[in-house]
Amino acid sequence: MEQYEHTCMIRGDGGRAIRGILDRICDKWTMLIVATLDEGRMRFTHLHQHIPGISQRMLTLTLRNLERDGLVSRTAYAEVPPRVEYALTDRGKSLIPPALALARWAIEHSNDIQASRDTYDTQDG
């Protein structure tokens, strides 16, 4: 029995929990935010400047979801103007090694994958 099937049987949820977490972690922006916060605590504006292409709204939504999942902490300071900083929690930091492993895999196989895509796209049918 495959590990995934075994895990789904133990949980008894048909893989819903795993899919829900992977949907969050593997979305378009999460890994970029986590990787950026691996550099240390950051204010929203600084974080926004370091992630090209992300809108303020999407950054806000993704940070809220990461905070909800316990991957990011949000600290608000009672100052004028208000200051908010974001940082990875220990759980968020634990995501860095598997994320780097996946990124290395993608880099190592990107040329082969592109070649397969090119071959597929040029086939008749």
Q: Residues 21, 76: contact at Cβ < 8 Å?
A: no
Cβ-count burial 15-28 (b if 16+ within 10 Å, e if not): eeeeeeeeeebeee
Q: Just give the CATH number of 29-94.
A: 1.10.10.10
pLDDT greater than 60 at residue 1: no
pLDDT digits (tens, 9 = 90+) for 6-17: 665 656 677 777
Distance of alpha carbon 110 from alpha carbon 116, whole angstroms: 10
DSSP letter for 83, please.
E
pTM for the model stands at 0.78
What pLDDT is recorded for position 49? Answer: 96
Quick check: helix, strand or coil at residue 26?
Answer: coil
Select, from the ranges 4-8, 116-120, 121-125, the one with the highest average predicted confidence (pLDDT). Answer: 116-120
Distance of alpha carbon 47 from alpha carbon 26, whole angstroms: 19
- The residues spanned by each domain of the chain are 29-94
DSSP letter for 81, please.
S
Closest listed residue to residue 99, CA positions, set 22, 47, 40: 22
